[in-house]
């Protein structure tokens, strides 16, 4: 029972990280004044870091859900061997987190921040008045995102395989096996 609850707890934490990263990446730039967003590097770094964390935690979510389904399969379809050979939760959690981080590692290098010096002016009716010098922080794509093979193989094909095809096959298979065991 502890394995199942540990997996559920890990899934809840991963879901929470996904939600926070989603909010930081997609809504934070719309909540904050555009000038504030550009002038404080912490804002740019929060956005640039939220993007890969979002992808990593989504992948962890997917495979933790699959591990829960596999754990339920063994508990329902193989109850005697499941009690004797019960795997601890970290046998699921550590490989899922490690493989998710390894798979999403290139995403951490898709963007970078460029500091850009800028002069601030107070806009008056006819002649603008100089206020101060400042630096704005602009988020730009790296050359990695411009690479054709990276875009087609990793971004499109990899996501299709590792976030769609493999998870659905594993979930459908384990759930069909559970249904078959319950109906017999």
Beta bridge partners of 117: 135
Answer positive or negative: Cα dihedral of 6, 9, 13, 19.
positive
The tens place of each residue's pLDDT in the chain, 184 residues long, gives 588 899 999 999 999 999 999 998 888 877 766 666 677 788 888 889 999 999 999 999 999 999 999 888 888 888 887 777 778 889 999 999 999 999 999 999 999 888 877 766 566 666 666 667 777 788 888 999 889 999 999 999 999 999 999 999 999 999 899 888 888 7
d(CA 165, CA 158): 10
pTM for the model stands at 0.82
Which CA distances in Å does 131 have to 18, 40, 111, 137? 41, 18, 31, 19
pLDDT of residue 75: 83
d(CA 24, CA 46): 7
Identify the H or E element spanning 173. helix 166-183
pLDDT of residue 162: 95
d(CA 19, CA 48): 16
């Amino acid at each position: 029972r502890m394995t199942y609850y540990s997996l559920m707890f890990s899934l809840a934490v991963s879901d929470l990280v996904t939600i926070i990263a989603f909010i930081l990446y997609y809504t934070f730039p719309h909540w904050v004044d555009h000038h504030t967003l550009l002038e404080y590097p912490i804002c740019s770094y929060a956005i640039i870091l939220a993007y890969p964390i979002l992808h990593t935690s989504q992948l962890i979510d997917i495979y933790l859900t699959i591990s829960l389904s596999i754990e339920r399969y063994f508990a329902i379809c193989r109850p005697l061997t499941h009690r004797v050979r019960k795997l601890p939760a970290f046998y699921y959690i550590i490989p899922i987190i490690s493989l998710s981080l390894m798979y999403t590692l290139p995403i951490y290098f898709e963007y970078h921040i460029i500091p850009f010096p800028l002069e601030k002016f107070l806009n008056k009716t006819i002649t603008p008045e100089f206020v101060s010098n400042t630096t704005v922080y602009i988020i730009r794509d790296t050359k990695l995102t411009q690479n054709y093979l990276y875009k087609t193989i990793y971004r499109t094909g990899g996501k299709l395989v590792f976030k769609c095809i493999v998870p659905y096959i594993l979930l459908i298979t384990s759930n069909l096996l559970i249904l078959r065991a319950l109906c017999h």
